[in-house]
Amino acid sequence: MRVQSPSGDLDIYADVIVGCDGRRSTLRDTAGLRGQDYGAPMDVLWFRLPRKGNEPEETFAIVGAGHLMILLNRTNYWQAAYVVPKGSDEELRSRPLSTLRDSVAQLAPFLAAHVAELTSWDDAKTLQVRVDRLDRWYRPGLLLIGDAAHAMSPIGGVGINLAIQDAVAAANVLAPALAAGQAIDEELLHRIQARRLPPTKLTQMLQLQIQKRVIAKVLDPAGPLPGIPAIVRFLLRFRAVRNIPARIIGYGFRREHVRTGAVRPPA
């Protein structure tokens, strides 16, 4: 493979290249791998605001007419994820910064004292949300994993888990084959995709349902806010039921364990 590096072009010779260059993967495009784009109704503006000791402890989401903001407690600052309708970022940024400040203060009145810390639109970084999945995660000599193979929505905060689980599953298949001097053929690469495809599909299905049934409705200023069905409210009284989402988020639909044994660096 020929790559561009700060010190010029390089030729890399390898039995297999594992592409993990994220949801805007260059390797995916260059290899001509195609898939399905499932779409997302939102993008996310990330910014920080100071946090004082007497402010809430927990991480939480605040819903207002047409807005959704998630606040992550980072001890001395809040990491705020301000969710906006897909593609609306440019229009929002063309407005005075007070639009964002006022909206944040309205959603979380205790932040009114801090919003002046946002001094320019550059303080807020936009992360574009995508949900997609390649039909085929490999070609001879190339395997894509993580968001490069299946871009994950931020819902549930599980994208990193899946990317790491893909890497572990890939290592479990590739390491013994490489150690034995076996050729890395497409059958081996297919085994990795076949193992990771079901949990990826299931997770994306859940994310797409939440995007459609909750996020899209919350971001529609004219629509009613989504409610929790009575049966779900009833079931959520039981601890065992409340633990289910935590297990899915924490462990995923298929756990992976490293089975490569000790890895020795090349001589």
Ligand X SMILES: Cc1cc2nc3c(=O)[nH]c(=O)nc-3n(C[C@H](O)[C@H](O)[C@H](O)COP(=O)(O)OP(=O)(O)OC[C@H]3O[C@@H](n4cnc5c(N)ncnc54)[C@H](O)[C@@H]3O)c2cc1C
| Among the listed residues 21, 37, 102, 186, the single contact to ligand X using CB under 6 A | 21
Using only C-alpha atoms, the chain has a radius of gyration, in whole angstroms, of: 22
End-to-end distance of the chain based on CA atoms, in angstroms?
A: 22
- According to the binding rule CB under 6 A, does residue 108 interact with ligand X? no
CB under 6 A: which stretch of 117-125, 149-157, 179-187, 251-259 binds ligand X? Answer: 149-157
- According to the binding rule CB under 6 A, does residue 154 interact with ligand X? yes
Which residue is at the shortest CB distance from ligand X? 159
Which tokens sit at 173?
């298949």
Three-class SS of residue 102? helix
Task: Please say which residue, 61 or 112, places its beta carbon nearer to ligand X.
Answer: 61
List the one residue out of 194, 151, 202 whose CA is nearest residue 20: 151
Q: Scanning residues 191 to 230, which ones bind ligand X (CB under 6 A)?
A: none
The C-alpha atoms of residue 42 and residue 100 are separated, in whole angstroms, by: 16
- According to the binding rule CB under 6 A, does residue 170 interact with ligand X? no
| Among the listed residues 20, 63, 105, 216, the single contact to ligand X using CB under 6 A | 20
The C-alpha atoms of residue 215 and residue 210 are separated, in whole angstroms, by: 7
For 26, half-sphere exposure in the C-beta direction (CA atoms, 13 angstrom radius) is 4
- According to the binding rule CB under 6 A, does residue 155 interact with ligand X? no
Give residues in contact with ligand X (CB under 6 A): 20-23, 26, 44, 127, 129, 146-148, 152, 154, 157-161, 163
